[in-house]
Amino acid sequence: MENCIFCKIINGELPSATVYEDENTLAFRDINPAAPIHVLVIPKQHIISLDDINTENKKTAANCLAAIPEIAKNLGLVGGYRVITNIGKDGGQVVPHLHFHLLGGKKFKEKIV
Ligand code: 5GP
Ligand code: ZN
């Protein structure tokens, strides 16, 4: 997708600190980390958000989600971690390419839910 920064990261037009890659999924460090470890886990296919999951792309999204435990293990997050996805304007989504924030490296005190 043209002008999508995450698609540009996927195709190598923009640099990123990659921590995991398979044929379906890419994970790289967030440029503005909100925790000691903050990684964005994204499908290589351009899907705008969870709101745009359909019968054609749901396997891609599921594979992306399913990669998270291995990524967390590789990052040494043995004590647990947090996964967040923002959806749309009211959800606080800034980049319109589905991404899961994988946050860890500290014990979170603050809770939204
Ligand atoms: P959102 O607010 O859409 O859920 O999250 C977007 C995230 O992407 C933010 O945490 C932001 O720091 C991160 N981000 C935005 N642009 C870039 C970039 O060019 N490279 C990387 N690595 N992260 C980015
Ligand atoms: Zn994209």
Best CA proximity match to 4, nearest among 103, 101, 93, 102: 93
**What mean pLDDT is reported for the chain?**
97
Give me the mean pLDDT over the 18-22 stretch: 98
Indicate which atom in ligand 1 lies nearest the CA of residue 93: 3
Q: Which two tokens stand for residue 82?
A: 């947090």
Tokens 């709101």 locate to 51
87 close to 51: Cβ distance less than 8 angstroms: yes
**For a substitution probing ligand 1, which of 10, 30, 38 has the most ligand atoms within 8 Å of its CB?**
30
Phi, psi of 83 (to 5 degrees): -125, 130
Ligand 1 near 38 CB (within 6 A): no
| DSSP three-state, residue 19 | strand
Give me the mean pLDDT over the 49-55 stretch: 98
Indicate which atom in ligand 1 lies nearest the CA of residue 38: 10
pLDDT of residue 1: 81
pTM: 0.98
